[in-house]
Amino acid sequence: MSFDYNRLAATCAVESPGHAITLPPEAYGSDELYAAEVDKIFKRGWIPVCRVEQLEGPGSYYSIDILGTPLVVTRDRANDIRVLSRNCTHRWMEICSGAGQANVLQCPYHLWSFGLDGHLAGAPEMKNSPGFDRKDWGLKAFRHEVWKGFVFVNFDGQATPVAEQFAGLEPLVDPYDFENYQIVETTDWGVCDWDWKIMVDNFMECYHHMGPHRGSLEDEFPAKLSHTGDVGRYFTTMWSQQADGYPAEVPFLAPGAPTLTPEHSHKLLIFIAYPLLQISLGPGFMYWLKTLPVGAGKVEIHLDIAMSPAALAAPDLDERRSQLVKSICDIHREDLDVCAAVQKAVRSGVTSTGRLALLERPLWQFYRYLGRELGIISTTADLAGRLTARI
Ligand code: FES
Ligand SMILES: [Fe+2]
C-alpha cells in the first residue's frame, strides 16, 4: 500500500500549536516516506558530520558513513578541510576507516594512495595503461561548510549557505562562545530500533521530564517551565528553565562565558538546526545528539559531549568532565525505553494520531518544516505559523 501523503499533510498543515496533532503513526516506518526524506530533506539540507577540533591539524582524517555514503573528512597540508568520498576511484574499496593522522590515505586493495586533498598520489603498475593520468582519478569531493565549529555536508550541492540558513540562531548561541566549545567525550549507542523523527520528537520537548526524567530532571528543570524560543525556516529553539531556588552549578550551568547574562545561568537552550543538528547547550557544556538515519524506523545514535572554554579552563577538569558525561548518559538512557516503545506501537499497526500539548509546540514546528520540505504544505501556511505568537 502506498504512503498516504494526504494524512501526513493534515498534521503538517495545522495552523495553530494549540490544535497540533502527532504525525500519523505510519510516518515512522514507511520505506516510501523515508526515500522521500532522503531525496528532499537529507540530500538537500546541511548534515552535521563532526566538529573541527576532531581534525587536529594538517594530515588528520575522520571517517563516517552518512545515509549509507562512506565519507572521510580531512585536513590537507594547507590545513583546509574537505569532505571526500571514502570509496577508491579504482574499484570502490573503502580507502580508510576510523580517525587519525596520515600523509596519504592508501587503499588496502591495490594500494592506490590519495593525498588528504583527495588527489591520486600513487597507483602501482598503472603507468603501462594507455592514457591513464593520475589527475583524472582523485576522490570525489562533497560540498561542505563550517558553522560554529561544526563541519556540514550538503549532498546535492544546491543548499543555500549554512550560515544563511542558521543566521537566526547566532544571537542565541554566540554569547555562550559556542563556536569554541570542545568535544571531550564521544559515545556510540549503535543502531537503534526507531525512526529519526521519534528521536527529534523526544529531543524537542521537555513535557516528558515528568515521565522518564522524573527522578533526574523534573525537580530542577520541570516540564511546565519549558517554553519555545525563536523559530526560523531552518531551526526551532526551546528553553528549559531551572526552578527557583536552585544554584547555577557545574558542570551544566557553570562556569560560562563572560558574555552571558545572569539569566543564562538558570536555563538550558535546546535547539534543532534542521534536519539533524540537535543540541542541548548551557554555560558549561553542550551535548550533540548525533542521529544518523539508516532507514525507515532505524537510526544510528552517537552522543558527543563538549565543554565550554570557561569550563575547560577551570580547576578539577577531570572530575567535572566525568560528572558531566555520566549525567548526560544516564539521562539519555532514560529516553531509550520510551523511544523503543513508541516505535513498537508503530510496528504493531496502531492507526490513530495523538493530540499534542502546548508544551510540545516545537514538534508542531518540526512537522511544518517536514511538510514544507516534502512539498506537501504551502510556504504561505508556514509563514502564518512562524508569525503565531509565542507561548
Ligand atoms: S580498489 Fe582501491 S586500489 Fe583497487
Ligand atoms: Fe528526554
Quick one: three-class SS letters along the chain? CCCCHHHHHHHHCCCCHHHCECCCHHHHCCHHHHHHHHHHHHCCCCEEEEEHHHCCCCCEEEEEEECCEEEEEEECCCCCEEEEECECCCCCCECCCCEEECCEEECCCCCCEEECCCCEEECCCHHHCCCCCHHHCCCCEEEEEEECCEEEEECCCCCCCHHHHCHHHHHHHHHHCHHHCEEEEEEEEEEECCCHHHHHHHHCCCHHHHCCCCCCCCCCCCHHHEEEEEEECCEEEEEEECCCCCCCCCCCCCCCCCCCCHHHHHEEEEEEECCCEEEEECCCEEEEEEEEEEECCEEEEEEEEEECHHHHHCCCHHHHHHHHHHHHHHHHHHHHHHHHHHHHHHHHCCCCCCECCHHHHHHHHHHHHHHHHHCCCCHHHHHHHHCCCCC
The C-alpha cell that represents 322 in the structure block: 566525568
66 and 210, same domain (yes or no): no
Q: What CATH number is given to the structural domain containing 122?
A: 2.102.10.10
**Segment 189-204 mean pLDDT:** 98
Residue 1 — pLDDT band, cuts 50, 70, 90? Answer: confident
In a domain, 67, yes or no: yes
Rounded to the nearest angstrom, the distance between the alpha carbon of 181 and the centre of ligand 2 is 23
- Ligand 1 centroid from CA 80, angstroms: 25
Average pLDDT of span 145-150: 98
Please identify, among 147, 180, 195, the residue that sits at the C-terminal boundary of a domain.
147
Same-domain pairing of 235 and 95:
no
Q: Are residues 232 and 105 in the same domain?
A: no
In a domain, 369, yes or no: yes
Q: For residue 216, which ligand has an atom nearest its CA?
A: 2
Share of the chain above pLDDT 70, in %: 97
125 alpha carbon – ligand 1 mean position (Å): 12
Residue 136 counted as domain residue: yes
pLDDT digits over 103-113, tens only? 999 999 999 99
What is the whole-number distance in angstroms between the Cα of residue 331 and the centre of ligand 2? 7
Ligand lying closest to the C-alpha of residue 336:
2
Indicate whether 225 belongs to any domain: yes
Query: Are 306 and 376 found together in one domain?
Result: yes
- Same domain for 29 and 60: no
Q: Which range of residues forms the domain containing residue 31?
A: 5-44+160-386
- Segment 195-218 shows an average pLDDT of 98
Last residue of a domain, one of 147, 172, 206: 147
CATH number at residue 314: 3.90.380.10
State whether 231 and 373 are in the same domain. Answer: yes
Residue nearest to atom 4 of ligand 1 (CA): 110
| In a shared domain, residues 306 and 334 | yes
Q: Is the pLDDT of residue 391 over 60?
A: no
Number of domains in the chain: 2
Residue 164 and residue 142 share a domain: no
Q: Which ligand is nearest to the CA of 211?
A: 2
Q: Work out which ligand 1 atom sits closest to the CA atom of 123.
A: 3
Q: Are residues 22 and 57 in the same domain?
A: no
Are both 142 and 184 inside the same structural domain?
Answer: no
Are 271 and 186 members of one domain? yes
Task: Report whether 168 contacts 386 (CB < 8 A).
Answer: no
Q: Ligand 1: residues within 6 Å at CB?
A: 88, 90-91, 93, 107, 109-112
Is the pLDDT reported for residue 388 higher than 50? no
Same domain, 138 and 259: no
Band the pLDDT of 378: cuts 50, 70, 90.
confident
